[in-house]
A and B are shown apart, each in its own frame.
Chain A
């Protein structure tokens, strides 16, 4: 199907137009091109989806175009639409379009409007290549492309050096993961002889079993790549800093799409992961650890976007957790719902930040619900979904994950307990965020929002994205789960609500109730306590203070990396001797000796005839001795 190409091609075209015109287009045109290209792509995706469903979920393959062919390696550009990639494509173009839409307003007062949309379009293109590519190399192309765009967009405000640092950190840290991915590609090509996803999986199914070590290594390497991209432990440190980018970027890249690429990768390679218990266990543990650590960290953050960032980490942790447990559909479903509600949350927070004139500290906010009603409700809906309040989208997906954890044969109870505790934490920090931002009285300055600002969250054009995402966050769960289940050929997967009703068992009920409990607790705690206590909790030296400080810093990962990797590298690199290349010393020494000998020999040229004669007689003597006795 050739029209498939249009989906990635449109954003690419948008990118090219915006770049080549070098920002000379009027802003309205830029907005139309930037958001429009993604919008049309979304429409086409809808058409493709319709075709897909109309043909009994038959895989759709685009026309192909040879990329390169060397020896036994032949790689083409070809798009591949099956259930998995279709859902992802839908999310990317759909949510992407909404965020672009929102951004047309959000960015309206910034410099580099055109540049921003160029990058965003490029990002959508790259992300689509990642998702739709039929070979791992094409996937890698997208994978790197989104990394680049992420770098460009985090550092969008390039005048601020810290942002540039954050951008580089993001790029380099994910690059570490990418390297593992790349090595996995080499290994796959070596062992399987192809980089085509489907052929590779087929090969694995046919030739490998649980005991194949190579498979485990491949999976672990892929996990390494996924961990980097999805900001999981231990490569998670870049994500909070990545919040330096404009908020729509955070919404699109660092919440809805790019960071879930790791999840997508693992889901894509399901056939291989299923064969390796060790890899699956690692996926679970990585997810669980991130989930935990990120949740605790989110609880003590003061920057609203950092709360959301840690929340994103923990939610992706859920996804990994689910994938690792074999609850493929639950994990992937959570990806989709998370895209909806986290995008919503970010957009809402973006409006808040603009309203506060780029103040992101929640302790300086408060009472904003009166000024910003739309973001307030959006935030409420998003938070509800995040906290998995029953019947919201998040509830369906998270519940499925929790139940999946319970069903795990070996450590089920343990996993479930962990996940449930994290769920409580999720509720807690969500409530805390809303309480600090919207409830109570203003603690800092507030500003009037001029009615004709393009980003004014009360205008229709800005409300629309909130509305659509809000609807999806609430109702997305109702329709989606059955669909996603088919992706992974799971028939017996647990289904939250029905399950609860049918069984009314202890565990499902508890699973059902505990998020609620968290919310109630949160409301009690944050609603009633004095504002100062939060601040105190962070600064004083009591045990809780130290703990919260520790949590605040993201469990000290940054500190450890700084101390043991970055610092030594930079220090050694910056010392003078190294700038001057120690290898050069070899040649400097040679030069030194050459000139030393030169000076010694020159000193013999004294100019005295008698000395000259002496050397000649000496020479004769030496030669004679050599000839006669040696």
Chain B
């Protein structure tokens, strides 16, 4: 516990924000679905990190519980996501996310 406390909360939060932004940019920049899902994962983990830092601040396990939670959740999401990716490659013959733009207006 003590070791963690040495790192100021703000720093961890900044880190998580940076991670979040990295994820965000990943989604904006990458066209490959796999990378988009990856970026999503990064964003989720940024939040998870923030939870851990916050939990550390209050010295409670809640943050870590939430971390586990998020992990499970992200896994589930990715599981479904990958399923969709398979379908995408089948029906659209591509992994380029920009090609899925038939619904608009």
The residues of A with any CB-CB pair to B shorter than 8 Å are: 602, 605-610, 613-614, 617
Contacts and interface: CB of A to CB of B under 8 A. Distances in A.
B7 interface: no
B93 interface: no
B6 interface: no
Nearest to B21: A617
Given A605-B105, A607-B103, 14 more contacts: A606-B101, A607-B100, A607-B101, A607-B104, A607-B105, A608-B98, A608-B101, A609-B36, A609-B100, A609-B101, A610-B28, A613-B24, A617-B24, A617-B28
A605 to B, nearest CB: 5
Nearest to B103: A607
Nearest to A613: B27
Contacts of A606: 101, 104
B102 interface: yes
Contact of B105 (A602, A609, A610, A617): A602
Interface in B77-105: 97-98, 100-105
Contacts of A609: 36, 97-98, 100-101
A605 B28 contact: no
B57 interface: no
5 contacts: A602-B105, A607-B100, A607-B101, A610-B98, A613-B28
Contacts, number: 29
Interface string B1-42: 000000000000000000000001001100100001000000
Contacts of B105: 602, 605, 607
Interface residues of B, number: 13
B102 A610 contact: no
Interface of B: 24, 27-28, 31, 36, 97-98, 100-105
Contacts of B102: 607
A609 B28 CA distance: 9
B104 A610 contact: no
Nearest to B104: A607
Contacts of A602: 105
A82 to B, nearest CB: 85
- Going nearest first, the 9 A-B pairs with the smallest beta carbon separation are A607-B104, A607-B101, A613-B27, A609-B97, A608-B101, A607-B103, A605-B104, A617-B24, A606-B104
A610 B103 contact: no
Contacts of A610: 27-28, 31, 97-98
A613 B105 CA distance: 16
A496 to B, nearest CB: 96
B101 A614 contact: no
A567 to B, nearest CB: 53
A620 to B, nearest CB: 9
Contacts of B100: 607, 609
Contacts of B104: 605-607
Nearest to B29: A610
A608 B102 CA distance: 9
Interface centre among A602, A606, A610 (most CB of B within 10 A): A610
Contacts of B24: 613, 617
A614 B98 contact: no
Contacts of B101: 606-609
A52 to B, nearest CB: 90
Nearest to B36: A609
Nearest to A604: B104
B28 A614 contact: yes
A247 to B, nearest CB: 76
B50 to A, nearest CB: 15
B92 to A, nearest CB: 13
A177 to B, nearest CB: 65
A605 B104 CA distance: 6
A605 B27 CA distance: 18
B87 to A, nearest CB: 15
Nearest to B39: A613
Contacts of B28: 610, 613-614, 617
A431 B18 CA distance: 116
Contacts of A607: 100-105
Contacts of B97: 609-610
Contacts of B36: 609
A609 B100 CA distance: 8
Contacts of A617: 24, 28
A498 B103 CA distance: 110
A623 to B, nearest CB: 15
A239 to B, nearest CB: 70
Contacts of A608: 98, 101
Nearest to B25: A617
A137 B67 CA distance: 94
B29 to A, nearest CB: 8
Contacts of A605: 104-105
A13 B100 CA distance: 86
A607 B97 CA distance: 11
A189 B98 CA distance: 82
